Structure 1
Amino acid sequence: MDGGTRETTTERPSAADIADRLRARISSGELARGSRLPTQAELVETFGVQRSAVRQALKILEGEGLLTAVGRGSPPEVAPTARAEPARDVTLSARSILGPRLEVAFEAPHVELDVVSLTSETMMFAFGQLMGALYAKHKRPESVRVRVLLPRVEDRLDYPAPEKGWGHDQKLDDAMDRRNKAQSANQRTILTGILARMHKELGIDVSLEFRTLRGTPTRKVYLLNRREVLFGHYIPGSFLRDVDGYAEPVMLRDVEGAETPMLTFEKGRGARDEAMVDSEQLLFDRVWEHVAQPQE
């Protein structure tokens, strides 16, 4: 693809649109396995969008296993091979483990997924990866119900936040507010779109609902079909992040959400695992019913 040839459209493409176009070029071989993509600046010029839309599109494709080394300074590469399913008895990142475990969970006729998370980014990646697997399968679920607990987007969270905290730099505070709200809205929109495609193109009855809680989540939880829980703690630190309005990455207080190490517990693997799954499911159900508020 010529990074400098701008695509003409009547409106700016979304991150999902950009991901679709790059995915098609990878599938056709125009972007060969192992080759590098154009730079983000070239993709911005090609698609006529903000850099944030390009970054989001690249993350979608990384989550599907089509790109590697996204966000590491140089342009990402087209993945040489598809990723393998992880071993069950090791601790892996949320990005590595969620997609394969979702694929197994989607073998059930009626799928239930309950999520507690800082953002819906990892889940968005995993569902993008899952769609490819579902197209190849003859047997698919009849229904999918997804419930997601996220922090209130109106709140200033402990992370992501300016490294020195809120209130020291008004320009950065305002930029961070815009960044956090835009990322949350984009992720919800993309995830909603993926589920809509699942219904329209695969004939699966889908339900997706977001609710919010006050405060900053300290853990990431995925409950699969009331039988399995993936559980991990967010580890705060200082990270360089892109912030619109700043020419260079800005040091922020944040977590590596997609890289959060996850522990797995599953019914049928002993009393300890069973107790963990039951307690986490009960906690989620009660918080969802009595504490969480509908996403506005």
Structure 2
Amino acid sequence: MSRDQPSATSARAERDRVADALRARIDSGELRPGDSLPTQKALMDEFDVERGVVRKALALLKSEHRLADVGRGSPPTVAEPANHREGASSLTADVELAERLDVAFQATDVTLDVFGLTTETLNSAIAPTLMAIRAGRVAPRSVTCRIMVPSPEAHLALPFLIDDPADPRPLQRLNRLIELHTRAFAHGMQYLGERGLVQELSVEVRGVPLTPTTKLYVLNGTEALTGFYEVVRNSVPAPFSEDHMDIYDVLGLNSHLFRYSAGSDSRGKSDVDFVEHSRTWFASMWETIAKPYLFTSQASTA
């Protein structure tokens, strides 16, 4: 059967149509864990689409952890639910977040709300998605990012010098890291807007006078990931010096994230409630005590 080559927009719509139908069969139990899907040829005929559309639909379902063995020469199988998979909790924060960002950016309109210490994990995790957008494999119409980090003027509980908790240098170092990572994230996103890869783009960074003990990511308003910062003893370079400082620091990049969904893969009311309360909590902070983050260059020109 001959099929016309679809445009990028219609191809995405066709991909979503195929993925939605297969997703519904999986979620309803019509296709159970371990069951094989129809062959790509059978799916092409059933949905009257090109093979590339079928492959993209299968890749999308794989990124949602609904399919296993995609692209191995035989029809993929339905994966075990996330809470039943061995090793599902062994992913580090940046790897887990990267997988969820990849799924989130498949949406037409993307929203991302983040609360954390430095956004280092976010920067590491977003890199594959940015590359996918630049390559044209992912094409959201709009992206709205709200980033909330500690205010540069706040006196935080951590980090601090073990031998002299009043020493300001650990906090000065932290503020430089916050500025480095938030600027890098903002610049990476702004590049997409400047190149016309995203039609509507908004990135805003605000500071709050709080010491984060957990990190939170709310994706598209339907998914929340949270993780704990661990307090560790660390030896770090002193600012503008060859000396090192022994400090009590916080570790977040290699921590683990807990995922909650209000979407079709939700585990129940507790998941939905957590996502809703995460959204409410973030909005309450953002709209009250969070203030526009004053970067060093802004301060020097004020």
**Aligned equivalent of 1:215:** 210
Structure 1 unaligned spans of 5+: 1-83, 168-172
User: Are 1:241 and 1:250, in contact at CA under 8 Å, matched by a contact in 2?
Assistant: yes
**Aligned equivalent of 2:54:** none
**Aligned equivalent of 2:269:** 271
User: C-alpha separation between the residues in 1 aligned to 2:255 and 2:228?
Assistant: 7
**Aligned equivalent of 1:175:** 169
Q: 1:290 Cα deviation (Å)?
A: 2.2
What is the identity, as a one-letter code, of the residue corresponding to 2:210? G
**Aligned equivalent of 2:180:** 186
**Structure 2 SS opposite 1:281:** helix
**Aligned equivalent of 2:144:** 145
Does 2:199 correspond to 1:201?
Answer: no
Does 2:229 correspond to 1:234?
Answer: yes
**Aligned equivalent of 2:293:** 295
User: C-alpha separation between the residues in 2 aligned to 1:165 and 1:107?
Assistant: 48
**Aligned equivalent of 1:10:** none
Change (3 A) 1:126 1:210: same
| CA offsets 1:2-24 (integer angstroms, 9 cap, x no match) | xxxxxxxxxxxxxxxxxxxxxxx
**Structure 1 SS opposite 2:101:** helix
Q: 1:196 Cα deviation (Å)?
A: 1.2
Q: 1:188 Cα deviation (Å)?
A: 2.1
**Aligned equivalent of 1:160:** 159
| CA offsets 1:239-265 (integer angstroms, 9 cap, x no match) | 222333443543211111111211001
User: C-alpha separation between the residues in 2 aligned to 1:238 and 1:112?
Assistant: 35
Identical counterparts, % of pairs = 26
Q: 1:138 Cα deviation (Å)?
A: 4.0
User: C-alpha separation between the residues in 1 aligned to 2:186 and 2:149?
Assistant: 15
User: Are 1:127 and 1:194, in contact at CA under 8 Å, matched by a contact in 2?
Assistant: no
User: C-alpha separation between the residues in 2 aligned to 1:93 and 1:164?
Assistant: 31
User: C-alpha separation between the residues in 1 aligned to 2:106 and 2:146?
Assistant: 19
User: C-alpha separation between the residues in 1 aligned to 2:104 and 2:136?
Assistant: 14
TM-score scaled to structure 1, two decimals?
Answer: 0.65
Q: 1:232 Cα deviation (Å)?
A: 0.9
Aligned pairs for 1:248-287 (under 5 A) are: 249-267=244-262, 268=264, 269=266, 270-287=268-285
TM-score scaled to structure 2, two decimals?
Answer: 0.63
User: C-alpha separation between the residues in 1 aligned to 2:192 and 2:127?
Assistant: 10
Aligned length: 208
User: Are 1:86 and 1:97, in contact at CA under 8 Å, matched by a contact in 2?
Assistant: no
What is the identity, as a one-letter code, of the residue corresponding to 2:125? A
User: C-alpha separation between the residues in 2 aligned to 1:99 and 1:138?
Assistant: 16
**Structure 2 SS opposite 1:259:** coil
**Aligned equivalent of 1:112:** 111
Structure with max Cα Rg: 2
Q: 1:123 Cα deviation (Å)?
A: 1.2
User: Are 1:86 and 1:96, in contact at CA under 8 Å, matched by a contact in 2?
Assistant: no
**Structure 2 SS opposite 1:255:** strand
Structure 2 unaligned spans of 5+: 1-61, 66-81, 295-302
Q: 1:98 Cα deviation (Å)?
A: 1.1
